[in-house]
Structure 1
Amino acid sequence: MPTERQDFPLPPLLRTNTGAARRIGVEIELGGLELEAVVAVVADFFGGRIAEHGRYERAILGDQAGPWQVEIDFAWLKELGRRERDAGDALAGLEEAGEDLVRAASAWMVPVEVVSPPLPLARLAEIDALIARLRAAGAQGTGGSLINAFGLQINPEVPATDATTLRRYLQAFLCLFDWLQGRAQVDLARRLTAFVAPFPKAYVRLVVDPDYRPDLAGLIDDYLAANPTRNRALDLLPLFLHLDPERVRRVVDDPRVTARPTLHYRLPNSEVDRPGWGVRPVWEDWLQIEHLVAEPERLATLCRAYADFLDRPLSGLIEDWTTESRAWLKSPDDI
């Protein structure tokens, strides 16, 4: 197990309302390497042992936080791989040949994904060290091809699951979305695939209204009515599925949505091939959200300012909220 010095800044809310230390998951999509090459790098880095879950999925065991997953991010292929493992020789012949054909055709655009277990925040620096190893092995990110729609996704555990806390996270994100999008410089391929589509304007205006105070059921219902999709820069479906599975499944019957007590931030590109790139700048940008949530009065004032901006006749045309929102950011020395 690597021992990396922790020098990442931490959020003001370090523990959940149960007293447990908050954790974070990280997902890195990459190209340029075959599945087994990525598995070898991750297993060597953590000193873990490899378990095969199918032709397109591996787990690296031995980390006290839980298994690391390395997989080809293509649901149909993964399902065939599982069936092949379970059925043995029963899938020989045409189905296996068809699977290989689709895999070969998709290899140039389907990423390999490295998925961490829920990690203590103090281990975030290890992610950057792992990215450096993958880069040295030849991994490519979004910029490796005009069609690479690869992303880096972080999943911070929420400190509490009451409606007020979750509303504040959503409001803080919506108020800073334009700034975050500018910082992320989202690649054209990712924008065209709508993997990180912005929230509908009417929904944004509803949520940032200073009088918006739904209970948890109302918060979830409003979200589902406007966003019955995984393809949002901040995907709350996993969190809401964790909290109220029946309510979510009535609207979203997508097996790719799995329950977890985390926010799912999907906006940043994967730039694993760029020297010096890592999760740190993404995390530092995210901390602007964390600080707003921890300062309700400052957040409420920002919501009023953004609501007023959205009500202006020329907002978004000749007026720029990105510039205005910078006035609400913490300085790097304060986060």
Structure 2
Amino acid sequence: MTSCPPPLALPARSHTDAGTLRRVGVELEMSGLDIDRLAAICSRYLHLPSQTTSRYERILPGDPAGDWRVELDFTLLRDLGREQRAENDLGDELRNSMEELLKWATNDVVPLELISPPLPMDRLGEIEGLIDLLRIAGAQGTSSSVISAFGMQFNPDLPDLRTDTITAYLKAFTCLYDWLAPRARLSLTRRLTAFAGPYPPPYVRQLIDPQYWPDQTPLIADYLLANPTRNRALDMLPLFKHLSADQVLATTTDPLIKARPALHYRLPDSLIDQPGWGLGGAWNDWLQVEALAADRPRLDACCSAYEHHLEQGLGRLLDSWKAQVERQWLSGT
């Protein structure tokens, strides 16, 4: 790296049961740069070569953690960009014209995406320096346009794949959602398009029941019944596809669901054009989920308190759950 930014804080359970440091992948969406400029900046900062794999995809191999990727976040155009076409062929000329028209029509709404490999969590801070360089070069985030809906996503490995551990993360995230969502500063477009929506209220009530600690098969079945979509602030489909592909495929065959043993946290906006913005704020907020999930007695008490809050009816207006979270349920409060 060209600089050594300070590492970001580690979660309450920083290592797996096997003793290895947990990993986290980062996905960062932006506009304002073309794909070659974005890949070149990343290549210089990371000291990795940039290789063109299609018209809309670049890979940066050589990192011990795996390949970095830069790509257009639009599956159809990526597929078209992989096609090899002959000159002076009428059919290929028509496809070229269709591709150019599609690229023009989506230019302001489809972002480029920088995708890291699963990095050891103590390397997460390295991306902060890269964000600064991209901002200086003209990268734009979701606030740059009223029609932009660009996000930043974390894909943290779990400390283990036991069902109670997974359930604890679901419960902790659900209890803290009302606090997390306003801090994520979702743009109006992202809220309206529900790219990172909340869990439905009946599923929230099911999750926060202190007695709800199911086995893996019913846990996944309950989730799929309530959330047959990727568009959730905490998307569990990649993890559940890794654990039980048949269950997930019986509900959705969305090809964008990639099986992996990690959570998919989709809530934060990409504000890469704003001075001072980086991963740290959203990451520290996520660490509150980590801390609550790791503390079973506190988690059970928080679920009971949230359940009681939801039973108050109009009384909930007198004391918001967000305020209660800030007073009582954050680590260090």
The answer to whether the 8 Å contact 1:128/1:278 transfers is yes
3-state DSSP of counterpart to 1:49: coil
1:25 is paired with a residue of what secondary structure?
strand
Cα distance in 2 between the residues matched to 1:42 and 1:150: 19
Alpha-carbon distance in structure 1 between the residues aligned to 2:163 and 2:331: 25
Do the aligned partners of 1:153 and 1:265 also contact (CA within 8 Å) in 2? yes
Structure 2 distance, partners of 1:42, 1:126, is 12
Q: Structure 1 residue 119 and structure 2 residue 119: aligned?
A: yes
CA contact (8 A) 1:6 1:124 kept: no
Q: Tell me by how many angstroms 1:315 deviates.
A: 5.7
Aligned 8 A contact 1:39 1:70 in 2: yes
Q: Report the more deviating stretch, 53-62 or 132-141.
A: 53-62
Q: Which residue of 1 aligns with 2:329?
A: 328
Alpha-carbon distance in 1 for matches of 2:54, 2:314: 54
Code of the residue aligned with 1:196 in structure 2: it is: A
TM-score by length of 1: 0.95
Please tell me whether the aligned partners of residues 239 and 259 of structure 2 are also in contact (alpha carbons under 8 angstroms): yes
Q: Which amino acid aligns with 2:97?
A: A
Aligned CA distance change for structure 1 residues 119 and 218 (closer, same or farther; 3 Å): same
**Structure 1 letter corresponding to 2:322:** T
Which residue of 2 is the match for residue 18 of structure 1? Answer: 18
* Cα deviation digits, residues 98-132 of structure 1 (max 9, x gap): 01110011111110000000101111111111100
Task: Map residues 189-268 of structure 1 onto 2, 5 A cutoff.
Answer: 189-268=189-268
Aligned to 1:210, what secondary structure does the other structure show?
coil
Query: Does residue 140 of the first structure (1) align with residue 123 of the second (2)?
Result: no
1:127-160 deviation digits (Å, cap 9, x = unpaired): 1111001001000001111111000101111111
1:17–1:160 Cα contact (<8 Å) kept: yes
The answer as to whether partners of 1:2 and 1:126 remain within 8 angstroms in 2 is no
Residue aligning to 1:163? 163
Pairing 1:49-68 to 2, within 5 Å after superposition: 49-68=49-68
- The 3-state SS of whatever aligns with 1:92 is helix
Q: Which deviations, in whole Å up to 9, do the C-alpha atoms of 1:251-287 show, x marking residues without a partner?
A: 0110000011111111111000000100011110011
How many Å separate the matches in 1 of 2:86 and 2:54? 11
Deviations 1:155-213 (A, max 9, x none): 11111111100000000000000000011121101011110111100000001000101
8 Å contact 2:31–2:111 — kept in the other structure? yes
State the number of aligned residues.
Answer: 330
Which runs of 5 or more residues in structure 2 are unaligned?
A: none
Point out the more displaced range, 323-332 or 71-80. 323-332
Q: Is the 8 A contact 2:5 2:129 kept in 1?
A: no
Q: Does residue 22 of structure 2 align to residue 27 of structure 1?
A: no
| Residue 35 to residue 315, structure 1, CA distance change in 2 (3 Å) | farther
Change (3 A) 1:299 1:73: same
Normalising by structure 2, we get a TM-score of 0.96
- CA–CA distance in 2 between the matches of 1:148 and 1:104? 15
Between the aligned partners of 1:175 and 1:216, the Cα distance in structure 2 is 21
Instruction: Tell me how far 1:318 sits from its aligned partner.
Output: 4.7
Is the contact between residue 210 and residue 303 of structure 1 (CA under 8 Å) also seen in structure 2? Answer: yes
The answer to whether the 8 Å contact 1:210/1:304 transfers is: yes
Does the CA contact (< 8 Å) of 1:24 and 1:121 recur in 2?
Answer: yes
1:5 CA displacement: 4.2
The separation in 1 between residues aligned to 2:299 and 2:95, in whole angstroms, is 55
Which piece of structure 1 moves more, 175-184 or 6-15?
Answer: 6-15
SS at match of 1:261: coil
Asked if the contact 1:28–1:113 (Cα under 8 Å) also holds between the matched residues in 2, the reply is yes
SS in 2 for 1:304: helix
- How far off is 1:2 after superposition? 3.8
Distance 1:88 1:302, change over 3 A: farther
